[in-house]
Structure 1
Amino acid sequence: MKNKNKLGSSGIGGQAVIEGIMMRNKDWYSVAVRKSDNTIEVEKKQYKSASQKNKILGAPFIRGVFSFIDSLVLGIKSLTYSASFFEDDDETEEEPGKLELWLINKFGEKAENVIMGCVVAVSIIFSVLIFMMLPLFIADMFERFVPGIGNRQVPVIEGIAKMVIFIGYMLLISLMKDIRRTFMYHGAEHKCINCIENGKILTVENVRESSRFHKRCGTSFMLIVLIISILFFIFIRSDVVWIKYTIRLILIPVIAGVSYEIIRLAGSSDNFIVNLISKPGIWMQKITTKEPTDDMIEVAIKAVEEVFDWKDYLKSNGIEVLDEISGEEDVD
């Protein structure tokens, strides 16, 4: 069955993990992992986002910040789960460290959540330092030591530094064998979603033929964050060093909120202008996604089917779901 008409957004999203894929639909998510014995292990759990718990946090331009934090938390949970299948099997169980024991004694059952919160906080801090503060520091060094560089040129140099650091970072990690495999699973995730949203039955063959690029990708979101921040700081400037750094910290939630609304619009619209805005993110996905193997696609399909009824989605969009082997309509 072929259908070239693009359907509306399915609402599902995901992330590549170690030898597997996490897929999320509303308040459910699944993690499918290809284990070393070649079997596929699938876990399904419920996850309530901050915006679901509080309606105010789901308001436009506010929801973006909390959606990003939710994505980090869920991503780290999924990565930890997938990594557990590939840890070395020691004959003796490793004793917990002093910090771990202190956390368990202090917080009890909530210790895991505390550790997760710390990991997310550290991740955000490092991201801000590397992709926001370091470029400004580089631009300030140019202004201080390079003749002819003034305050007006600082935002331009800062913007160039941001893009070079971000693209360079992605290119460097893509050279690592394990990361390259993760990028292949990332491609499988996108291909599955594109297959469904283009009205095709979810089979290995159809997924393989689908595009590995998607406008709702996290890579696109990160790139849009950088572009929006560059535009913001071209117009919001100060000669006072501490004010420049403070402004960047204060405006991070605003930039994240605006960027989220853009990526959200991109995922549900095929408008010419929206597609044009999405182009840089699609180009970046040439680095962060790779063509997957069929066994990786099988893992992606397992993850999707655990949390999303793609047959019902196709039927609700007026597409007849047929059994590709028998040619008979699937009535479930």
Structure 2
Amino acid sequence: MAVRIGGQAVIEGVMMKNMDRYAVSVRKPNGKIETKVEECVSFAEKHPLFQLPVFRGMANFLESMVIGMKTLNYSASFYEDEEEQTESRTEQLLEKILGEKAEKIIMGIVLVFSLAISIGLFMILPYIASEALGKLIRNEYVILFMEGIIRIAIFLGYIVLISRMEDIKRVFMYHGAEHKTINCLEAGVPLTPENVDNFSRLHKRCGTSFIFIVMIISMVFFFFIRVDTIWLRIVLRLLFLPLVAGVSYEFIRLAGSSDHPLVQIFSKPGLALQRLTTKEPDHSMIEVAIASVEGVFDWREYLENLHKGEQKEDE
């Protein structure tokens, strides 16, 4: 049985997701590890269309964003300062006004706002910049290629800038702990800090690799947009995004289970990028990642069954 656990680093913690459950473990200011486990019913379970290839990637992309924001907010709640406490009071006021739906409404607003910023920064800005270069370069294909290069450059610049922040450095260390733990589990090795520390902090199914693949595949898709109106080009780019995300998800899914040389070649840029978004964690961080796995997966039973299966094959 293959392990299909995925995760995300949060503030002083790690989130791990397995099937219809996810757990977020946080190292609290007092040094203790707090783990919260939640059930999550996938949109695809209610709508069979989104169980099909490409479509499942679209649903997974949005669900990952929602769960990611929820777990980030949860981890941040342990480290609120006075300003954040004021924001919490604002949220409490909204809860009184909106009732039980307040959290979902607030989450929806934050999600839309985050998507708008991401689209503006990584989609619209590169397009505008490439159009400006179009006054000097008359070749349409070169302009489209430059748009992709500018998009990647903006993303790399963004990663480099935020990596200088002390809090982000620690998040990147927890990101490394998440990858090391999953790599250790997939290798069939017991999850101890010492064992986990021996594994790579890079992983082919990482969200960083997914974003990079999205940028590469979008370059291919945008070659087929042939309209003269600027605003229509932007709209069509936005409409292509779910499809691009779906195709990118299928590649990342394939990369996580395939050793084909061609897949390995296309995976290398994303893995190289992870050297920026992951850092070597300490053992206390690895302990948090292990606690998160244990919230959604019985790795001891899994390894026992795995070794029993190997013994039977040998007999």
Q: TM-score range by the shorter chain?
A: over 0.9
Is 2:291 the counterpart of 1:302? yes
Q: Secondary structure at the match of 2:29?
A: coil
Matched, 1:53 2:46: yes
Moved more, 49-58 or 295-304: 49-58
Preserved CA contact (<8 Å) 1:219 1:281: yes
**Residue identity in the other structure for 2:99:** G
Counterpart residue type for residue 122 of structure 2: F
Deviation at residue 181 of structure 1 after TM alignment: 0.4
Change in 2 beyond 3 A, CA 1:269/1:141: same
How much has 1:238 moved relative to structure 2?
3.1
Pick from 144, 154, 165 the counterpart of residue 154 of structure 2.
165
Provide closer, same or farther for how the CA distance between residues 23 and 95 of structure 1 changes in structure 2, counting only shifts above 3 A.
closer
Residue 59 of structure 1: how far off its partner (Å):
1.6
The match for 1:72 is 65
Please list the CA deviations of residues 11-70 of structure 1 after superposition, one character each: whole Å capped at 9, or x if unmatched. 111100000001111111111111111111111111112112322222211111111111
C-alpha RMSD of the superposition? 2.1
Structure 1 or 2: larger helix share? Answer: 2
Query: CA contact under 8 A between 1:199 and 1:319: conserved in structure 2?
Result: no
Please tell me the residue identity of whatever aligns with 2:165.
M
Match of 1:211 among 200, 213, 225: 200
- The structure-2 alpha-carbon separation of the partners of 1:153 and 1:201, relative to structure 1 and needing over 3 Å to count, comes to same
Residue 223 of structure 2: which of 210, 218, 234 is its match? Answer: 234
2:76 aligned with 1:87 = no
When residues 63 and 86 of structure 1 are mapped into structure 2, their CA distance, relative to the original with a 3 A threshold, is same
TM (norm. structure 2) is 0.92
Match of 1:194 in 2: 183
How far did 1:254 drift?
A: 0.8
Structure 1 pair 60–95 and aligned structure 2 pair: CA distance change class (3 A): closer
Dislocated runs of 4+, deviation >4 Å: 92-95
Which SS does the other structure have where 2:38 is aligned?
Answer: strand
SS in 1 for 2:197: helix
SS of 1:71's partner is helix
Summarize deviations over 1:123-145 as a string: whole Å, max 9, x none.
1121111111111100001113x
Give me the whole-angstrom Cα distance separating, in 1, the residues matched to 2:23 and 2:138: 51
Give 5+ residue unaligned stretches, structure 2.
311-315
Query: What 5-or-longer segments of structure 1 have no aligned partner?
Result: 1-7, 322-332
Give the stretch that moved more between structures: 81-90 or 253-262. 81-90
Match of 1:325 in 2: none
Residues 266-315 of structure 1 deviation map (CA, whole Å, 9 limit, x = unaligned): 11222222111111110010000000001000111111111111122223
Percentage identity across paired residues of the two chains: 49
Q: Which residue of 1 aligns with 2:128?
A: 137
